[in-house]
Amino acid sequence: MLKFYHAPWSRGSGILWLLEELGVEYELVHIDIRQEGGVPESYRAIQPNKKVPAIEHDGVVVTERPAISIYLADAFPEAGLAPAIGDEDRGPYLASLVYGAAVFDPVLTAKAQGLVYESNDHAYGTFDDMLAYLERTLSERPYAAGDRFTAADVQLASSIDYTMNMAKVLPERQIFKDYLERIGARPALLRSQEKDTALARTVPALREMFAG
């Protein structure tokens, strides 16, 4: 049994996409992170900070997007979303997954909040360094880890799409647009977006967005 703890239009949306790419059965457990009064304390037994996403697979709880992505892609290798150990793409694949949560996400958050700092002030480095690295990486290879689509692209594309097109924190670059264009028509992505929107319609805090 695979349980997926999720809130629509959140950082869990990339894991929803990944599950659709894997083509496995799962039970979606809605955690309403926007509800009045906050998420119930009982959820800390699954996720210590009461955040999403999280999964529970055969009694094993896994949190944090990179760990969940690595776990799921390795647990269901028939989907071909994880380079095997020994494959030359395995290193770039793991690096990309961890980079998203350890560097990209906090750098963009700091940028959005107007935080001014020097490179050595924080472990995740500067916005400019992140931007240069991301542009260089996608100019050297078509996907996050090489010449093929992997679970790393699910997370990277999700992050680029949200921060560039929705949050407007990541600057628009043609190389980012081209990357999203290569990925945007995947059937699993479209299915996940439909499911996310349907779930969002049930959230009281988001109801006004669908009015009229």
pLDDT digits (tens, 9 = 90+) for 68-116: 999 999 999 999 999 999 999 999 999 999 999 999 999 999 999 999 9
CATH class of this structure's domain 2-80+189-210: alpha beta
Specify the pLDDT at position 35: 95
Is residue 212's pLDDT more than 90? no
**Can you give the pTM of this predicted structure?**
0.96
Per the structure block, which two tokens stand in for 124? 């995740």
Per the structure block, which two tokens stand in for 142? 């078509």
Specify the pLDDT at position 23: 98
CATH topology match: 2-80+189-210 vs 90-186: no
Distance from C-alpha of 96 to C-alpha of 91, rounded to nearest angstrom = 9
CATH topology of domain 90-186: Glutathione S-transferase Yfyf (Class Pi); Chain A, domain 2 (1.20.1050)
Q: Of all residues in the chain, what percent carry a pLDDT higher than 70? A: 100
